[in-house]
Amino acid sequence: MPRRIPFKIPRDEKLKTALVATTGALMRTSKSPDEALGELFGEVQQNRIYDDGKTFVDLVPRARMKSIQQEYKLAREDPNFDLREFVSRHFYEFAPHKEKENFKTDPHRTVSEHIHLLWDVLERRNRLNRGSLIALPHPYIVPGGRFSEQFYWDSYFIMLGLAADHRWKMIEGMMKNYTFMIRKFGYIPTANRTYFLSRSQPPFFSHMVRLLASHKGRTRTFAEYLPYMLREYRFWMKGRIKLSKAEHKAFARVVQLPNGMYLNRYYDNKMTPRPESLTEDIETAKNKPDRESDRLYLHLRAGAESGWDFSSRWFLDPKDIGTIHTADIIPVDLNCLLYQLESTIAESYWLIKNPLLARKFQNLADRRAKAIQAYCWDEKEQFFVDYNFHHSQPTGQLSLAAVFPLYARIATKQQADAVAKRLERDFLKTGGLVATLTTNGQQWDAPNGWAPLHWMAIEALRNYGYHDLANDIKRRWVKVNMKVFTEKHKLIEKYSVESTNGLGGGGEYPLQDGFGWTNGVLAALLAEH
């Protein structure tokens, strides 16, 4: 693959970027559409004016939302009032990228060449706040399909492919967008949308720092991004001093366990239906009249923060989303990512010659590793699991999150042996690894396989010398990607690793193509040759 020829950024482009980076961090962010539009929002979503609830929250109002709301209250009194017409008159779609959607796959091109061209199709630039879309100073790559924002954990796996394609300028720009959001919000939200500001996603920022450091140099890069890693760490650990008085000794995203150890959970700062999935969340609550709806909404939102939305990992009854209880669970993958964040902060302090703080964060990482061993290793199953701290026992749901302790090098050799055997025996299918062993119609369960989980599993197994198994998983995953690409001329969000056609399904929305992290992981795996 030829290197992309660097280009000189025009001076006015640099000025616009600098303006957003400086003033944008100070500007007040508008309210989420559900808060700003009140009854109008609920009517539009519950009447399914759009098939996909995300469509409306992404539209841009033609006037101030307060004015639109007031006009709606008057207009709806008219017996001939047409809600669909009212919405189309007062909102519009901001989608300059749609002119790129005439992109057609050339069957004579290799998949690597296809991905190389797709980066331009998936590139966005937005330097103005438009409805729920939050301005960012630099261009970015989006997942594709219904997702036209810079999503947090997707971006790491997208960056792997950008690195394979030598697009370091794009990677660095996306990193600068994250430092911008950390300065503005104190953390990295799910994506740059106002309705995502109550939650984050799996914390892969330190992994992005390490990836960029492989190109720019370790000391320079770690020192530059250390303040932002510290801000992210404070976000996840916020509330530690309040734990002694909190129910179940849990506050926000932190949990104190009986032996004094601290671990983390997924959470959300709101207890209302997700705006982009309002109808689905209300329906889930209606089907569970015995549960407090606000608590149920919190658990659904926390499940969305996990990135695994949704999975039997979070359900008391693996077949019933109404039993979701995400915020009662200590996820093994989240805590491994935070262990790596603590370790990267410690390494950064060593590099800038601050041994006192380096030792402090290394001690925090070591304590977390011991806590993961104590609470997330299931001796009976011989597998790493999530832990229900409300019930003081493992959740009983086995998933590919078990590879994260191997990825983070926390597992012992004996534990790694057991995990590798279980993966090969139970999780490995024709097209790769299933996310869980449960088939229930949710997208993060069987028979689906996902690009990010395959990357983590392959790297995790290599860390402990299981190269044959890692290469077998890689071969099967690449094969199912190539099968769909050959037959459908596209790369998709998720794949069925058990079916003959390879097309994934399930969840709250149709199968998406594009697709950012599939492109990224496939490009990185192919580049290994």
Tens of pLDDT along 475-495? 999 999 999 999 999 999 999
Tens of pLDDT along 188-229? 999 999 999 999 999 999 999 999 999 999 999 999 999 999
Give the C-alpha separation, 344 to 357, whole Å.
12
Asked whether residue 357 carries a pLDDT value surpassing 80, the answer given is yes
Mean pLDDT across 513-522: 96
Nearest alpha-carbon partner for 115 in 163, 79, 153: 163
- Portion of the chain with pLDDT greater than 90, in percent: 88
Does residue 177 contact residue 140 with C-beta atoms inside 8 Å? yes
Ramachandran category for residue 408: left, alpha or beta (phi over 0 → left; psi -120 to 50 → alpha): alpha
pLDDT band at residue 362 using 50, 70 and 90 as cut-offs: very high
- At 317, the amino acid letter reads D
Count of C-beta atoms within a 10 Å radius of residue 142: 22
Asked whether residue 63 carries a pLDDT value surpassing 90, the answer given is yes
Where is pLDDT greater, at 26 or 501? 501
Return the pLDDT at 9: 53
Does residue 263 contact residue 372 with C-beta atoms inside 8 Å? yes
Give the C-alpha separation, 250 to 72, whole Å.
42
Asked whether residue 403 carries a pLDDT value surpassing 50, the answer given is yes
Asked whether residue 5 carries a pLDDT value surpassing 70, the answer given is no
Residue 309 annotated in active site: yes
Backbone angles phi, psi at 397, to 5 degrees: -100, 115
Mean pLDDT across 230-253: 90
Count of C-beta atoms within a 10 Å radius of residue 522: 28
Does residue 510 contact residue 504 with C-beta atoms inside 8 Å? no
Helix axes 332-351, 355-376, angle to 10 degrees: 160
Helix axes 205-216, 218-237, angle to 10 degrees: 170
Domain ranges, ordered by start, for the chain = 33-96
Which of 244-258, 345-359, 376-390 comes out lowest in average pLDDT?
A: 244-258
Cα angle 155, 214, 355 (rounded to 5 degrees) comes to 105
Residue 378 annotated in active site: no
Tokens of 451: 């690009």
Mean pLDDT across 268-273: 97
Return the pLDDT at 7: 44
Count of C-beta atoms within a 10 Å radius of residue 505: 14
Does residue 399 contact residue 383 with C-beta atoms inside 8 Å? no
Asked whether residue 292 carries a pLDDT value surpassing 50, the answer given is yes
Say whether 372 sits in a helix, a strand or coil.
helix
Return the pLDDT at 498: 97
Does residue 138 contact residue 123 with C-beta atoms inside 8 Å? no
Tokens of 29: 């962010």
Return the pLDDT at 10: 56
Q: Which residues touch 513 (CB under 8 Å, ≥6 apart)?
A: 144, 145, 488, 490, 491, 492, 493
Return the pLDDT at 248: 83
Tens of pLDDT along 144-198? 999 999 999 999 999 999 999 999 999 999 999 999 999 999 999 999 999 999 9
Tokens of 405: 């302790």
Burial-class residue 261 by CB neighbours within 10 Å (0-12, 13-18, 19+): middle
Mean pLDDT across 68-76: 96
Candidate list 149, 328, 333, 493, residue with the active-site label = 493
End-to-end alpha carbon distance in the chain: 12
Return the pLDDT at 347: 98
Q: Which residues touch 361 (CB under 8 Å, ≥6 apart)?
A: 342, 343, 345, 346, 349
pLDDT band at residue 101 using 50, 70 and 90 as cut-offs: low
Asked whether residue 279 carries a pLDDT value surpassing 60, the answer given is yes
Mean pLDDT across 219-245: 94
Q: Position of tokens 């057991």?
A: 418
Candidate list 58, 149, 268, 309, residue with the active-site label = 309
Mean pLDDT across 307-312: 98
Say whether 15 sits in a helix, a strand or coil.
helix
Pairing of strands 250-251, 254-256: antiparallel
Cα angle 130, 170, 60 (rounded to 5 degrees) comes to 10
Which of 221-230, 292-301, 509-518 comes out lowest in average pLDDT?
A: 509-518
